[in-house]
Structure 1
Amino acid sequence: MRLPSTSAKLMAWAGLVIGGVAWAVNTQLGEILPTADCIGKHHVSAIISLFGALIVLGSGALSWRLDSRPSIGDDRSLPFSSRLSALAALVFTFALLMQGAASLVLSGCER
């Protein structure tokens, strides 16, 4: 019986972990960057949100791609964790896109 490698386990959880971290960082930057958006008119918050959404989408694709591999040994938790992680990455991507859209609608100068 051959167990999945550590890198395969980490790739299975990539969408969930990277998605959660990216969303948390974007939420914190959403508190800081509206002032820069108001002053510079460059929509930095929207750009960072879009970049984060692309990273999370890529990590979700990595997790989903791992699900297509055949099961290794008797460990059936790897397909479940990779599917869960890929779906969580979609939720985090949606949240990041909504935060980016909000930063486009609100300029940061509203106070």
Structure 2
Amino acid sequence: MEPAARIVVRRPGGGYRDRWRSYGIEVDGVRAGTVAGGEQVELPVAPGRHSVRAVIDWSGSPVVQVEVAAGATARLTVQPAGSAASALTQLWGRDSWLVLREE
């Protein structure tokens, strides 16, 4: 059996947008966990390439591809894509509400 790998998604605290709401984290199209402001979530995965996306309601982030070796950890950060003032311009896009990036 191959050693497990991990994907860790961190969400910085602070800010006003989505302050009281958690973001869902999808790995390979399946909901794998949630992350609240100022927290992180650790998701065990099989070694290899994975598609990761953060979601909230009907929107979220673009998909990020990560490669995780056996026993290794891929680290990502998720946050709102802009300020509370810019929210109306991002409201209707499927992947425009959040920014997910590899650290």
TM-score, with structure 2 as normaliser: 0.25
TM-score, with structure 1 as normaliser: 0.24
Choose between structure 1 and 2 for higher RCO, CA contacts under 8 A separated by at least 6 residues: 1
**Which has more strand, going by share of residues?**
2
**Which has more helix, going by share of residues?**
1
Look at both structures and tell me which one has the larger radius of gyration over its CA atoms: 1
